[in-house]
A and B are shown apart, each in its own frame.
Chain A
Amino acid sequence: MDQAELDVEACVARVRGGDEDAARCLMEHLYPLVVKIVRAHLPRRTAEEDLVQAVFAKVFTRLDQFRGEVPLAHWVSRVAVNTCFNELNRERVRPELRHADLSEAESEIIQNMAADTGEVSADQALEAREIVEKLLADLSPADRLVITLLHLEGRSVEEIRQLTGWSGPLVKVRAFRARQKMKQRLKGLLRENHP
């Protein structure tokens, strides 16, 4: 079946009836969306494919709860974000990040920031992402989730509210506290570099 022409409503109805071909089509249709969310929130010690499988297992077993009030993609996004959040909760919080934990390229970015030599260049984006990932690893799963959604995926507070089920003020408070913690850790890294 052509994915572009997939009749989602009919496909969902067939999956509810236990049709495995329809389930396969639905998985192929939703896979890019699910894998994007999983990659953005993947805990360091979890395999991407395992988490994707866990998301789809939840989607299929809870498909009867999907009422069609929102598009299927929104509902699946919410299931995926919550599955990732639960997985992050299982992962033990890592010890505080030290300068010695950074690679040479990451260390260079911190040195430039400490020396205040302007923006991080575009070709250093991957290293910047790695530093942010390491800073996020120190945070609680909720803090980590809110920073990833707000700053790395560029989602609005309203979108985060819909995805997580948290209230708007709670999203803002969590984002503020998470930023405070990240600032403390970044300050520590910069101080280590320029005592």
Chain B
Amino acid sequence: MSHIDRQLDQLLRAAARAPRSEVGPMSYATQTRTLAAWRAARNPLPEFGSLLAWRTGLATAFGTALIAVGVSFAASRDIDAEVNDPYVFSDPGVSVAMSTGWIQ
């Protein structure tokens, strides 16, 4: 055994003799965190279900937007028809005022 081997062994033997600090009880915080992590791992979020819900929501939003566009298009056609009538006032306020006699 070489000199440096002996020196290293000497150092390792001394290090192995170093006293270790006492092991106290496990802290409540660590226990609670560990259990929470385990609970979360046991009950993972239903990934497929949440994806399905997200897709359904997106489809519903798209459908609602389409219906809204359709309804507003139909309404605009009715307004166009009313505007083409020269006896129809475009401003409902004016027609109310005329009907109540405020404007002759």
B11 and A183 form a contact (CB under 8 A): no
Q: Does B8 contact A (CB under 8 A)?
A: yes
B18 and A126 form a contact (CB under 8 A): yes
Interface of A is mostly: helix
Interfacial chain B residues near A132, Cβ < 8 Å: 11-12, 15
Pick from A18, A56, A153, A187: contact of B34, CB below 8 A. Answer: A56
The smallest C-beta distance from B90 to any residue of chain A, in angstroms, reads 69
* Number of residues on chain A facing chain B (CB within 8 A): 42
B11 and A57 form a contact (CB under 8 A): no
A60 and B38 form a contact (CB under 8 A): yes
Q: Using a CB–CB distance below 8 Å, which chain B residues touch chain A?
A: 4-5, 7-8, 10-21, 23, 25-27, 29-31, 33-35, 37-39, 41-42
- Top 6 A-B pairs, shortest CB-CB distance: A128-B14, A120-B14, A129-B18, A132-B15, A125-B18, A129-B15
Q: Using a CB–CB distance below 8 Å, which chain A residues touch chain B?
A: 18, 20, 23-24, 27-28, 31-32, 35-36, 39, 49, 52-53, 56-57, 60-61, 109, 113, 119-120, 122, 124-126, 128-129, 131-133, 147, 151-154, 179, 182-183, 186-187, 190
